[in-house]
Amino acid sequence: MIYLKTDEEIELLRENNLLVSETLAEVGRHIRPGVTTKELDSIAEEFIRSHGAVPAFLGYQGFPASLCISVNEQVVHGIPSSTCVLKEGDIVSVDCGTFMKGFVGDSAYTFAVGEVAEEVRRLMTVTKEALYKGTAQAKAGNRVGDVSAAVQEHAESFGYGVVRELEGHGLGRKMHEDPGVPNYGARGRGPLLKEGMVICIEPMINMGTRTVVFERDGWTVRTRDRKPAAHYEFAVAIRKDGPDVLTDFSIIEQAINN
């Protein structure tokens, strides 16, 4: 069941997703060698609560933290830990959710820890570009497959692996609504995008094989070949005249470039 949102509901989703962007910016300011992923999680939880929201991931299907923090070969759903210490050259994908005024925010960003290898920097850049290319297709009259194919084609043109097991989703009063938004697919296929739909587009792109392993902690997903993966996520409202991106990466990028 796909729920179409009113303009008022889209504004509440925008409020949530801007808070997620601000939270990711706050986390980004603290990312440096020596910090633990648990410390980053605490910073995010306090920031979210101090802005009148609740961390949407905490307790979701039993998830034990406010952020998913996935380092290097971890693709998504990494659990913050006091023993996971970031070091120079790591990349760290941070996925954040909020719940406020009856609606959910959900976005993700991959950060560099200090200087990272050139090939890793390229993976980050291409994954973000894949998100932008998918987002450009997120307009009324297109289909989910148009978004999916745009993401897949860009990532695969660099020889990267596109994760199949996890996908984007509708966003609203619940974190995961219909439709599913895969990062691979065929143009002109899948559900029709209509004005008032809100979807999360979230490419998970691996430097090597697309195959992933689900770790025994019940959450963490990592690349089988242990090469790095990147993950960026936008919440996007579908409008007649094009995509209305509810997430704001410029807040994050201003924070980390200072």
| Residues at the site binding Mg ion, with contacts judged by CB under 5 A | 95, 106, 108, 200, 233
Alpha carbon distance 27, 40 (integer Å): 6
Of 95, 52, 120, 101, the closest CA to residue 235 belongs to 95
Phi, psi (rounded to 5 degrees) for 159: 80, 10
Q: Closer CB to Mg ion, residue 73 or residue 106?
A: 106
Q: Closer CB to Mg ion, residue 169 or residue 227?
A: 169
CB of 33 to Mg ion, least distance (A): 25
Alpha carbon distance 14, 237 (integer Å): 9
CB of 117 to Mg ion, least distance (A): 26
CB of 169 to Mg ion, least distance (A): 6
Q: Closer CB to Mg ion, residue 139 or residue 231?
A: 231
Q: Closer CB to Mg ion, residue 9 or residue 95?
A: 95
Of 85, 10, 79, 15, the closest CA to residue 53 belongs to 15
Alpha carbon distance 96, 26 (integer Å): 12
Q: Closer CB to Mg ion, residue 12 or residue 200?
A: 200
CB of 176 to Mg ion, least distance (A): 7
Q: Closer CB to Mg ion, residue 64 or residue 225?
A: 64
CB of 159 to Mg ion, least distance (A): 26
CB of 202 to Mg ion, least distance (A): 5
Q: Closer CB to Mg ion, residue 126 or residue 199?
A: 199
CB of 14 to Mg ion, least distance (A): 16
